[in-house]
Structures are given as C-alpha cells and as structure tokens.
Amino acid sequence: MSRPALVLFTCAAPLCLRLPATAQEPVPLVLSLDAAVSRAVALSEEVGLSRAQQASAEGQIQEVRAGVMPQLTATVNYTRTLASLFQDITFPAPGNGNGDDENPFAALPFGQPNTWNATLRLTQPLNVMTLMVLGITVGILVTNTIVVLESIYRHLDAGSSPAEAAANGTAEVGLAVAASTLTNLVVFTPIAFIGGIIGQFFYAFGLTVVFATLFSIIPVIYTKLDKVASWGAGRVSGSAAGEAGPGEV
C-alpha cells in the first residue's frame, strides 16, 4: 500500500466508526421456518389477549352504566313525584269570606306552586337541604301569623269591635313581624352567593328561603287589597244610600 493511501485510510477509519446506528443499513433478520411460525403464533396470541381485554373492559362499562342509569331515573322520578304531591296540598284561598283570613296555613309555601317551580328550576332538585329550608320557612311563617292573630284576639276579648281589634292588634306587632320577614330576605340572600364548594350547597339554601318568603307574602297582600276594595265599595254604597231621599230609597 502506498503512503498516500495509508494516510487516507488512517483518517477515514475513525469517521466510519462514529457513524450513528440509523445511518447504517439494517441487518435483515434471518429466521428458519420453525422460528417464523413460532413468532407469528406469539404475535397472534398477544393480539387475541388485547382483544379479550378490550371486550372485558367494554363489558365492565356496560355493567356500570346498567347500575347507574336506573338509580338516576329513580331519583328523577322521586323528585317529580314529591313535588307533585306537595303541589297538590292546597289550602283555602284567603279572603273568600269563609273565615280563611284566620287560617294561619293559607300563606304556607306548600300551597304556592311558584315556590316549588322556582326551587326546581333555579336551584337544585328536592333533597334534604331544600326540604329542611322549607320546613324552617314554614315554622317562621306560622309563628308570625299566630303572633298577629293572638294580638287581634286579645283586643277582641278586651271588648273592641272586630275592625278596631284588627287595626290595633296588627299595628302593635305588624312592624316586628315585617322586620322578621325582611330579615330573612336580607340575611339569606347573600348566603346564596357564597363562593367555593360550600357555596354550591348554600346556593339552594339561601334562594329557597327567599322564594318561599316572597311567594308567601302574596296571599297576605291579596287579602289586604281585597279588604280595602270591599271597604271602599261599602263606603261608596253607604254614602249613596245616605244622600238619597226617603222616597228614593
């Protein structure tokens, strides 16, 4: 070998050794017939095992769905049935002349479908939290009603006329009862807007109290307006009868 050829071989040998493995041509794997058959069988078994695992996973998913969906359906049906039952609990409408103005249950939220509709649409389905809130609200409303009626009957027992007893008895405790009702709105409205995880529970708590209190005031306002209209009509008819002459009556 000549000297220039020897020098070129000496410089190129390290470069050939430093070539990456990807730059080299892949070495073909030479298998015998028996080795190729064994390799193919092993690959087919791995594929079959993967398919079996996939089928098992799909079966477990179907079992989970079959166990959860009836529970969800039962919960929805229970909520709707419970709401329907409470909406069917109706009380005499106030102001119909049958003594219903003295009925402390006339303004209960159970008799107001608007409370249930607002609760179901804007908060949560009926659960322990919302039913507990409605129970608390019912207790507050009945207590306020009994306080007012007790004050009126005390004046009746003292000898006052029904009109004077109603006016004086309501005037004595009306401000306290109104303040108690408005306190519920002022206190529980901010509770409905608490943030975080705890706010998700108190959202239904606060709004249910607000809805029940607001809708329970509607029968009271209706009763007062109905009485005012009746008194006004009576005064107008009385004045017309007084102005008419003896022969015109």
| pLDDT score of 71 more than 50 | yes
Tens of pLDDT along 25-48? 666 666 666 776 677 666 666 666
Residue bearing the bigger pLDDT, 88 or 82: 82
User: What pLDDT is attached to residue 119?
Assistant: 67
The CATH classification number of 111-221 equals 1.20.1640.10
Dihedral angle sign, alpha carbons of residues 95, 227, 139, 194: positive
User: What pLDDT is attached to residue 221?
Assistant: 59
| pLDDT score of 172 more than 80 | yes
Average pLDDT over residues 72-87: 57
Confidence of residue 17 (pLDDT cuts 50, 70, 90): very low
- In sequence order, what E strands does the chain have? none
Residue bearing the bigger pLDDT, 201 or 238: 201
Residue bearing the bigger pLDDT, 198 or 71: 198
Place of tokens 């409470």: 86
* Structure token pair of residue 138: 């019912």
CA distance 91 to 244: 43
CA distance 19 to 36: 31
Task: Calculate helix-pair angle for 33-87, 113-122, nearest 10 degrees.
Answer: 160
| pLDDT score of 133 more than 50 | yes
Backbone dihedral angles phi then psi of residue 82, each to the nearest 5 degrees: -65, -40
Residue bearing the bigger pLDDT, 21 or 67: 67
Please report, for the chain, the start and end positions of each structural domain, with discontinuous segments joined by +.
111-221
228 three-state secondary structure: helix
| DSSP summary character for residue 195 | -
CA distance 160 to 172: 15
First to last CA, the chain: 153
